Amino acid sequence: MSDVPVVPRPTFHFTPQRNWMNDPNGLVHDRGRWHLFYQFNPEGSEWGNTSWGHATSSDLQHWTEHPVALRFRDGEQIFSGSIVSTPAEDGTELTAYYTSAYADGRQAQSRATSNDGGFTWELDVDNPVLDRGTSAFRDPKVIRYTDEAGRLRWILLAVEAEDRQVHFYTSDDLRSWEHASAFGPLGPTGVVWECPDLVPLPLDGDPDDMRWVLILSTNPVGDDADRDGSSMSYVVGRFDGTRFTTDSAELVRLDSGRDFYAGVTFDNAPQGAAIMVGWMSNWRYAEAFPSTPWKGAMSLPRQLALHTVRGRPRLVQRPPAFLLEQLTHAARATVVIAEQPVELSLSGHSVLDLRWDPATTGNLSVRLHGDADACVELEHSGGTLRVTRRGSAAEAVHVDFPSTSVTEVATGGPVQLLLSLDGPLLEIFANHGEATVSNLVPLGRGPIVATVCTERRGAVAYTAVDVASDESIPDPAATPLHAPQDHPATAL
The residues assigned a catalytic role are: 23
CB of residue 183 to ligand FRU, shortest distance in Å: 17
Instruction: Output 180 or 232, the one with its CB closest to ligand FRU.
Output: 232
Instruction: Output 74 or 90, the one with its CB closest to ligand FRU.
Output: 74
Secondary structure of 181-194 as H, E, C letters: EEECCCCCCCEEEE
Name the DSSP letter for residue 428. E
Residue whose C-alpha is closest to residue 397's, from 492, 262, 258? 258
Neighbouring residues of 465: CB distance < 8 A, sequence distance ≥ 6: 326, 327, 329, 330, 350, 351, 352
Question: Would you call 88 helix, strand, or coil by DSSP?
Answer: strand
Q: How far apart are CA 390 and CA 386, in angstroms?
A: 13
Residue 394 phi/psi, 5-degree rounding, is: -75, -45
- Cis status, amide bond into 293, omega within 30 of 0: yes
Q: Could you count the other beta carbons within 10 Å of the beta carbon of residue 145?
A: 17
CB of residue 438 to ligand FRU, shortest distance in Å: 15
The answer to whether residue 194 forms part of the interface with ligand FRU (CB under 6 A) is: yes
Of 23, 197, 373, 466, the one binding ligand FRU (CB under 6 A) is: 23
Check: CB of residue 320 under 8 Å from CB of residue 303.
yes
The answer to whether residue 218 forms part of the interface with ligand FRU (CB under 6 A) is: no
Q: How far apart are CA 422 and CA 12, in angstroms?
A: 7
CB of residue 300 to ligand FRU, shortest distance in Å: 19
Return the residues of window 239-298 that contact ligand FRU according to CB under 6 A: 262
Q: How far apart are CA 37 and CA 279, in angstroms?
A: 12
CB of residue 217 to ligand FRU, shortest distance in Å: 6
CB of residue 389 to ligand FRU, shortest distance in Å: 22
Interface mask (CB under 6 A) for ligand FRU, residues 401-440, using x and -? ----------------------------------------
Neighbouring residues of 179: CB distance < 8 A, sequence distance ≥ 6: 167, 168, 169
Instruction: Output 158 or 418, the one with its CB closest to ligand FRU.
Output: 158
Residue whose C-alpha is closest to residue 79's, from 54, 49, 56, 104? 49
Q: How far apart are CA 197 and CA 207, in angstroms?
A: 20
CB of residue 404 to ligand FRU, shortest distance in Å: 24
The answer to whether residue 39 forms part of the interface with ligand FRU (CB under 6 A) is: yes
CA angle at residue 246 from 244 to 249, to 5 degrees? 125
Instruction: Output 138 or 253, the one with its CB closest to ligand FRU.
Output: 138
Radius of gyration of the chain from its Cα atoms, rounded to whole angstroms:
22
The answer to whether residue 96 forms part of the interface with ligand FRU (CB under 6 A) is: no
Instruction: Output 23 or 197, the one with its CB closest to ligand FRU.
Output: 23
Of 11, 15, 22, 92, the one binding ligand FRU (CB under 6 A) is: 22
Check: CB of residue 99 under 8 Å from CB of residue 80.
yes
Return the residues of window 116-155 that contact ligand FRU according to CB under 6 A: 138-139
Of 19, 64, 99, 265, the one binding ligand FRU (CB under 6 A) is: 99
With CB under 6 A, what is the number of residues at the site for ligand FRU? 12
Q: How far apart are CA 225 and CA 477, in angstroms?
A: 46
CB of residue 445 to ligand FRU, shortest distance in Å: 28
Return the residues of window 40-79 that contact ligand FRU according to CB under 6 A: 50, 79
In 3-state terms the chain splits into helix, strand, coil percentages (rounded to 5) of 5, 50, 45
Secondary structure of 220-271 as H, E, C letters: ECCCCCCCCCCEEEEEEEEECCCCEECCCCCCEECCCCCCCEEEEECECCHH
- The dihedral sign for the CA sequence 270, 275, 280, 281: positive
- Which element (helix H / strand E) includes 395? helix 392-397
Instruction: Output 265 or 326, the one with its CB closest to ligand FRU.
Output: 265
Instruction: Output 15 or 50, the one with its CB closest to ligand FRU.
Output: 50
Diameter of the chain by CA atoms?
71
CB of residue 213 to ligand FRU, shortest distance in Å: 19
The answer to whether residue 193 forms part of the interface with ligand FRU (CB under 6 A) is: no
CB of residue 230 to ligand FRU, shortest distance in Å: 7
Q: How far apart are CA 200 and CA 72, in angstroms?
A: 33
Q: What is the binding site for ligand FRU (CB under 6 A)?
A: 22-23, 39, 50, 79-80, 99, 138-139, 194-195, 262
